[in-house]
Every structure is written in C-alpha cells, then in structure tokens.
Structure 1
Amino acid sequence: MVRFHGSWTAPAIIALALATSLSLSSCGSDEKKPNTDVGKGAGPVKDPASPQTVTFFSWVGNEPTMKKLAAEFHKQHPNITIKFENAPAEQAQQVLSTRIAGNTAPDVAYINASDTSDYAARGALVDLGGYMGRSTVVKPDSYVDGFKTFVTWNGTMWGLPFDGETTGLFYRTDRFEEAGIAGPPKTWDEFKADAEKLTDAAKGKYGFEMFASEAAYYFYPWLYQAGGDALTEDGKDIAFNSAAGKTAAAFYVDLAKYSPRDYLNSNSYDGRVAFAKGDVAMYVAGAWFAGTLADEYPKITGKWAAAPLPNGAAGCKTTIAGDSLVMFSQTKVSDAAWLWMEFLSQPGNLANWTYKTEGTLLPPTKALLASDDLAKEKPVLKPFADLMSCGVASTVANPKYPRIETILNEELSKAIYGDQTPAEALDNAAQQGRAILGRH
C-alpha cells in the first residue's frame, strides 16, 4: 500500500498487508462468480441519460488533488456525481471487506494493488476486459509489467494500476566524496566494498543501515536479485530457502557489521535520523524517503542522491508497491463507474496524481515513467522510474503467507543479531511456513 504523499512506510505496509490478508480470507467462499459480461459492447462507453451517483471508497478522498479531479470529471460528465466514501488508511481494508460481505460494497475503490487478486478470486470484482476493449485511454500493454501482475488473476486484469513506488538506494554524496568513492555501487561486490570503506565505528560512522524489525521486508530485493522468490510459482510451497535465497540471506545479514547497532531494533522511518545526520551513508528505501528528506531535512538538500539498487546475479530486480482502481460486482452503475476509472487513468490525470504533486509517487505507465516531463518535474524520482522495469510484483496470493512472513522476519532478525546463521534462519522459517501451508 502506498499512501499519497509518501507518508506510509515499510512497517505500515507490512502491518496492513497482514491485516488485509487475514480480513480478506474471512470473506468466505460463497461469493458469486464474477459476471464476465459487464462492460461488453461496441464503441466507447456513453454517459448515462439520467443522473447517477458513483460511490468511491478510499483513504484519499479528502486529498485536494482527488477533489479537484472529481470536480473536473463532473464538468465533463454532468450526469455523474462522485460520492466519496472515506476510511482511515489503517482501517480501510477491514471496512471494505466487511462491506463486501454485507452486500454494501462501493462502486469503485482505491485499494492496495497487491490485494486485487484476493478480491477477484472471491468474485467481488468486475472483469474489466470488456471495458478496456472499448477504451481509447486504457490499454493493458501501456502498464509496467510489475504493476500489471499485481492486478491480474487467472490471466485477466481486475484492476487498473494507479500509482506506486519502487525500492532504491539513497546515499550521502558528501560521505562518498570524503571516502573517495566516485559514485553509487552498481554490483553487490561494490556495495559491500563501499559499505566497509564508509564504516568507522569508533567515530560513529557507518556505511549502511538495516532494521531487524523489518528484516523480511528489506530482504526481498536481495532475494529477487539472487534469482530467488518467496513462494513457488503456484504459491503452494516455500521457495525462499533455496540456494539462491541462502546466497541472498548470507550477503544481506552480513551487512549488519556495517550498520549502527543502536538502530537495529528500530524501523526504517525512525532510522531516517541517522541518515539525515550523516552517520549512515547508504540507506535502502522506497521513493517515499525522498519526500521525507525534502520535507523534514531541507538543510541536507544537495548532500544526498538516489540510485538504482546494485545488481545481483539475476540482474536488475527490486520490490514495488502500489495502488489500483477496482470496480465491485455489486455495482448497479457499472458504465458510470467505468467512466470515472477511465478518467482517472488519463495520462494527464495520472501525472497530476503522482509526480506533479508534493509527493513522490510514480505513475504506472511506461510512457509517463520514461517521459522527459517526469525527469524535469521531479528529478529525484528518475532513478526510481528507471527501476520500475526491474520491479518484481510478488505473486504471493496465498492468504496464509503474511503469517509466514512474520516468522521469516523473526528468524532473519535472530540472524542479524548473530543468534543463528542466515541459512538456519531460512530453513527454520521454511519449516514453520510449510506447517502453516499444510493446515486446512
């Protein structure tokens, strides 16, 4: 989940992912099968002949940009009114799941993109294929593959990617210059060498910063770069303790020696202070961190930069997160709902919602990510835009996985503190994870 203006951090993402998955899994299996005929027809969707209201559920309805978009939409479609139904971000998915179960779902919602397949699998969403086939705005091939994976289930797109971010490398340019390092590392070997060179524990200076409390979340980029994955492709077995996974864990856990021990039990948001002070030279985070630094630490502007993560054996890989727009199968105004989704998906509106704001969100389309406009409007986002093509959208749709991730986090945390080896951490987590997967 990506919060507008980048105010959600990794801990919030992890907690909400767990809560969401558990609430989704309680929706039951008695949902109606999705109606695949909705949206089918010839030519562009037309405006309704009489007034209709489209309910739009989200945690961003009070954002000035969203209100402005709704007002502009109403001018263009005077017979359609957008009714915002807001919930706090930390409660949104639970509220939405309850409403779906109670047959009071909204027409359209802005949701965590990775939850799209869960809703689709329960028959809660409209298959958007019919509408997309009639649209001159929304084309499946225009989206980055990683984001398209998020909203695809059984080979069908059930949501429209709307915004997102990638995980990249932030580094203190002043510390690099002091150490005589020409630029950011491009390989794992360079990363480790730079971290070592930038570390002088006696002076309270470190090359990297990591967080045991978020060990699993920040392990994934290294896992993907090594050629590993969290689960097998069918989602039925553990894959993170493969040979590739153990290579990644060994490298990742070893980085603790270049990190301030006082921050190991902290989290990525609180850890921003050490980076801002210059005590830490390299920091892995999502694009949200760029906005945080600009807002909270303007005095260090010009002393830091962002770059793609260093490549591993599998090449350029990184984690991505994002939000999508979905239409619920309970809607009685599907054409009007589609027109709202299509309007929000226009290139100019995607740009206005993402990089043309104070925030640091990225648009989900290839054209906008590669545009000169993005690089001009928000230069700090360019490295993250470049990384989008390397983004790995986790295909883990198994509702049991969040519990497994909690265990993986605990075991990797023990390894970071030196209580067990990285390989033992993965094997222990895998053994417990398989027990969870085997339960009915």
Structure 2
Amino acid sequence: MKRNKWAAGLAGAMILTSVLSACGNGGTTEGGNSAEGGKVTLNVWGMGEEAKSLPKIAEQFEKDNPNIKINVQALPWSSAHDKLLTAVASKKGPDVVQMGTTWIPEFAAAGALMDLTPMAANYPEIKEDNFYPGSILTTKYEDKTVGVPWYIDTRVLYYRTDLLKEVGYNEAPKTWDELQDAAAKLTQRGKGKYGISIDPKEQSLAFMFARQNGSKLIDDKTPLFDQPEFVEAVDYLNSFYKNGSAPKDLGIDAIQGLSGDGVVPMFISGPWMVKLINDQAPDLKGKWATAVLPKKENNISSLGGANLSVFQYTEHKEEAMKFLAYMSKPETQLKWLELTQSMPSTKKAWEDPALQQDPHYKVIGEQMKASEPMPMIKPFEEIAQTYLKSFERIYRGQAEVKPELDAFNKQAQSILNK
C-alpha cells in the first residue's frame, strides 16, 4: 500500500472529533443509542476516494439485512493512520475498518483487530480457499486471522507494443536479460529517449526483484540484505541508471512517457494504470499492452491492496461478520470493480467475462498467481524507508552497491532488534 503524507491542523482535528463522536463506543446505533427500533448501525471506516462509493455498494446489504444500517466514514489516506491510532487508544472507533495490507501487523500487534477465526466457519464467503494465497498472507498475524481480503493489486509490466517491435521484440521481455536488452535498444533510438522507468521511490521494487532472484529477504529476525541474492537484484536495478536506460529525474509521469513518441516506453505499475491510460491517452489504443513480469528464478510480484477487519472493541460482532461476508461475495466484488476499478480478491470473481475478456485484466489475474505481500512484520515499513535512502545513495550518489547494502543490513538488524 502506498499513499501519502499526514494531514494536520485544526481542520484535521475537527474531522477527527466528528468521526469519533459519530462512531461512539465501538459501534453505535441510530440516534446514538445502543438500539433504536431494533436497528443496529454499523460504522464502517473506508480510506481514500474509493471509500466514497461504499454507501452505494452497501445498499443491497441493507436490503438483505433490514435490521442493519451501514454508516460510512470516508477518511483520507493521509490522515487515516493517525485516526486509527487515536481510536485504538480510546477503544472507540468503527465496527468495520479498511486496513491497508502493510498496516495489519502494527494494528494487530496493538490488539485493535478482532481474531475472526472462531466465527469464520459460520460464513462460507470468507473461506480462505476463496482467495489467492498471497492475499491470505496479508490477513495473518501470528496465529490469528485479523482480516478478509477486500481488493488487491499487484505489479505488471506496461509497454508500447509498436516500439518494442521496432527493436526486435514482438512480445514483452520474458527474462531479466531480455528486459535489460530491450531497454538498452530502446534507449539507442536517440537523445532524450529511454527504455524503462525504474521508480526509485517505489519501495517494493527492490524487494520484489530480490525475491525473483531467490532472496528470502528476512529469515526469522535476521535480515538478508547483504547476501548475494539481494545485492545482485539491486545491482541489476541500478544498471538501468548506469547505462542510461532509465531516467533519474525526467519530470514527466508514466502516461506522458508512454505517449507520443514514447520517451519511456516501459514501466512497472499496478492495475489502476489501465483505466488511466485508456482515459488520458486514447490515442495509444492498440499500441500498448500489459505483461507478467520478466523472470530470473521466478517472476514474483508484490501484492498490495486492502483488507476489511473488525475492530476489537465493537459491540456488534455478528453484524460486522455479516458485512464482511457480503463484501466477499463475487457478485459484490464485481460491482465494486465496476464502481471503483479496484481488483477483486476472490478467485471466483476473476472468472467473470469482464475480467477474462479484457487482455490487461487477464494479465493482472495471471500475475496474481505469482504475487506475494511484503514481509508481514511490524517494522517492515521502517526497513523499507531506510532502504530507499540507501538506494538513493547508490543510483544518485554512485555509492558502491555491496558496501552500501552491508550498511543497510546493519540498520535493518537494529530495527528488527528493537
């Protein structure tokens, strides 16, 4: 999960006060009472722009469950983390909460998320077999299941088919060597032309490539970032900068790079780019495609997205579980796809013609079979941010890869030892 810096100031405080007063004690009912006319109100916290569509998706649930009303609070990603911390401290918050996958370890460790295991057998919609194995990993903390996969994303290769053909590639590069070769040939088109965008601020990129090279990243509490598998992956990524195949500071976004004469005709990104390219660059129709990532030992991609969890302090566990089950139905997830372009987490939903007949989404579904989340440990976010600083010293400051990663590994060990 990526997103944003903290919002601050009086406006944020006012929003927080409003949210918490609306939520009451772990799930109020209409009018602020524990019951009103027998109708329970479930307070659901959703994050980002997509959360604004939650009331619409909840309409059918309310029809099917006339004794339950869904009250949605749409929180900006930029302030959601802080508000969740406040809710945990006060033990007052939502009944159901959207959790970015990388947040699960932190809030599960704080005891904020209910263990769904004792109740899961009563809700076949949330059976683990219904979901991709990688997404199930994001719902686990120690021996507990603290969430249900809601929507997912992974990373695939986007590329200009016409420009790749001009340099001898009728298909997307399938291996690390081919990706490097194609990028170098695309760069040779002339001054101001590049082969691929390697986003230096995408923290999952190096860890993803390292896994493709056989790295375990972390073994129990021992970081492996100074080992050959990780070092070779970072050296590989840095090679695109060193030979000029990837720009460092081009000042244009991925769609601008893909458009026109294709200043940067390849990049790695998530499912949201499909709609953005179609909407913002209609002139590219028929000239671009997606592909699963090129492989070394494997082609593992990163898995992100969001889960739905039940707040530990809710007074309405059964109703909350019903809502999680409803949101996990394939038909509900396909409606969510239609509303927000968010990829479904259930394997059954991926059998729908809307996804199978779209070549881009079909590729994303294929990549999901080889996608894994970042390590589900509380300190991983800090480790990832520390890596980005090390990588900047490598690609921008020309620091030697191995010594820099030796130093990074020691920092990671200190973080794990806290």
Q: CA deviation at 1:146?
A: 0.8
1:360-391 Cα deviation digits (max 9, x unpaired): x3211222234444123x43211111011111
* Alignment partner of 2:409 out of 394, 415, 430: 430
SS in 2 for 1:306: strand
**Aligned-residue offset at 1:306:** 0.4
CA distance in 2, matches of 1:135, 1:49: 26
2:168 maps to which of 149, 158, 180: 180
Q: Closer, same or farther in 2 for the Cα pair 1:151/1:49, shift >3 Å?
A: farther
Q: Are 2:117 and 2:145, in contact at CA under 8 Å, matched by a contact in 1?
A: yes
Give the TM-score, by structure 2 length.
0.86
Alignment of 1:132-211 (within 5 A): 132-200=120-188, 202-211=190-199
CA contact under 8 A between 1:117 and 1:153: conserved in structure 2? yes
Which residue of the partner structure matches residue 244 of structure 1?
A: 229
SS of the residue corresponding to residue 195 of structure 2 reads strand
Q: Does 1:385 align with 2:369?
A: no
Match of 2:46 in 1: 58
SS of the residue aligned with 1:409?
Answer: helix
1: distance between equivalents of 2:173 and 2:327? 38
In structure 2, relative to structure 1, the CA distance for the partners of 1:146 and 1:353 (3 Å cut) is: same
Inter-partner Cα distance in structure 1 for 2:402 and 2:50: 47
1:14-40 CA deviation, whole Å, 9 max, x = no partner? x68xxxxxxxxxxxxxxxxxxxxxxxx
What's the secondary structure of 1:207's corresponding residue? coil
Which amino acid in structure 2 is aligned with residue 326 of structure 1? S
Q: SS of the counterpart of 2:218? A: coil
Q: Does 1:305 align with 2:286?
A: no
Answer whether contact 2:68 2:319 (CA < 8 A) is retained.
yes
Trace 1:64-75 onto structure 2 (pairs within 5 A): 65-75=53-63
Find 2:206's aligned residue among 195, 211, 219. Answer: 219
Instruction: Give 2:103's aligned amino acid.
Output: D
Question: CA 1:101–1:63 in 2, change beyond 3 Å: closer, same or farther?
Answer: closer
Question: What's the CA shift for 1:420?
Answer: 1.7
Task: State the TM-score, normalized to the length of structure 1.
Answer: 0.82
SS of the equivalent of 2:73 reads strand
SS at match of 1:414: helix
Q: Indicate the residue corresponding to 2:322 in structure 1.
A: 339
Q: What CA distance in whole angstroms lies between the structure 1 residues aligned with 2:336 and 2:214? A: 34
Distance 1:325 1:213 in 2: 27
Provide the rounded CA distance (Å) in 1 between the counterparts of 2:327 and 2:91.
Answer: 26
Three-state SS of the structure 2 residue aligned to 1:366 is coil
CA distance in 2, matches of 1:418, 1:135: 54
Matching residue of 1:280: 264
Q: Secondary structure at the match of 2:391?
A: helix
- Residue 367 (structure 1) aligned to one of 348, 353, 366: 348
One-letter amino acid of the structure 1 residue matched with residue 386 of structure 2: I
Query: Retained in 2: the 8 A contact 1:61–1:84?
Result: no
**Cα drift, residue 392 of structure 1:** 1.3
Corresponding residue of 1:417: 396
CA contact (8 A) 1:249 1:423 kept: no
Distance 1:279 1:408, change over 3 A: same
Structure 1 residue 83 and structure 2 residue 64: aligned? Answer: no
Residue of structure 1 in register with 2:113 after alignment:
125
What is the total number of aligned residue pairs between the two structures?
A: 388
Q: 1:285 to 1:61 in 2, by over 3 A?
A: closer
Letter in 2 for 1:363: P
Aligned with residue 335 of structure 2, among 352, 355, 360? 352
Q: Which residue of 2 aligns with 1:395?
A: 375
Q: Is the 8 A contact 1:56 1:84 kept in 2?
A: yes
- C-alpha spacing 1:114/1:227, structure 2 compared with 1 (3 Å): same
Distance (Å, rounded) in 2 between the aligned partners of 1:173 and 1:128:
46
Give me the whole-angstrom Cα distance separating, in 2, the residues matched to 1:78 and 1:64: 22
Q: Is the 8 A contact 1:59 1:88 kept in 2?
A: yes
| Cα root mean square deviation, aligned | 2.4
**Percent identity (aligned):** 26
Structure 2 gap segments, 5+ residues each: 7-35
Residues 232-266 of structure 1: CA deviation (Å, up to 9, x unaligned) = 2x2x22222211111211211111145566x4146
